[in-house]
Structure 1
Amino acid sequence: MIIGYVLLSWLPNVRESFVGQLLGKLVEPYLTPFRKIIPPIGGMLDISPIIALFALQFVVLGIKEVIRYIAGMF
C-alpha cells in the first residue's frame, strides 16, 4: 500500500480519486510519525516512506522470530 501511495503521489489527479483517498487514509497515519522525524531532502524528496518500509520489515522479522521461538518451545 505504501508503494502504491508513493506512486500515486506522482499523479496528482489520480491521488484525488477514490482509490487515492482510500490509500491516503490507510497509509498516512503510519507515515506521519516518520515525516515528523525525517525532513524532505532538498525540500522536495520525501524519503520517509522508504524508512517506514524498512521499519515495517524490521518489525515483521522480529514478530517472525518471536513466533519461531515460541513454536520451538512446544
Structure 2
Amino acid sequence: MLTIVNLIFQVLGWVVSAYIMLIVVYALMSWLPGAYQSKLGQFIGRLVEPFLSYFNFISVGPLGFGPVVAIIVLSLVQYGLQYLQYIVLSLLV
C-alpha cells in the first residue's frame, strides 16, 4: 500500500516537473523566429497556452511575466504535493 501511494505521488511530481519544462521551452521559443509555427511549437502551444492564459494579465510593456508566475504556481503545487505525500505516508505507517 505504501509503495502504491508513494508511486502515485512520484508520478504526479514528475508530471508537474515535465509541465514546468514545457512552459520553459514554450517561453524560449519566443526567441526563435517561426518556432511557434512548427509542428512541435503548435503541439507545445496546445498543451501550455490554456494554463498560461490565466497568467497573461501580468505584463510590463511588451514583456509578459505570465510564464514566470505560472512556473512559481506550479512549483508551489509541487511542494504541496511533497508535503501531502509526507502527511499521507506518515498516517499510513
Query: Is the shorter-chain TM-score for this pair beyond 0.5, marking a shared fold?
Result: yes
Which ranges of structure 1 fall in alignment gaps of 5 or more residues? none
CA RMSD of aligned residues (A): 0.9
Number of residue pairs aligned between Structure 1 and Structure 2: 71
Q: CA deviation at 1:14?
A: 1.7
Q: CA deviation at 1:64?
A: 1.1
Higher relative contact order structure (alpha carbons within 8 Å, sequence separation ≥ 6): 2
Q: Distance in 2 between matches of 1:12 and 1:24?
A: 15
**Structure 1 segment 16-35 matched on structure 2, within 5 A:** 16-35=37-56
Q: CA deviation at 1:7?
A: 0.7
More strand by share: 2
TM-score, reference length from structure 1: 0.89
Q: In the alignment, which of 43, 67, 72 is matched to residue 85 of structure 2? A: 67
Pair 1:58 & 2:76 matched = yes
Q: Which runs of 4+ in 1 moved over 3 A?
A: none
TM-score, reference length from structure 2: 0.72
Q: CA deviation at 1:10?
A: 1.4
Provide, for residues 13-62 of structure 1, a one-character-per-residue CA deviation record: whole Å limited to 9, x for no partner.
121000000010000011001114x2x212x1011100100000001100
Which ranges of structure 2 fall in alignment gaps of 5 or more residues? 1-21
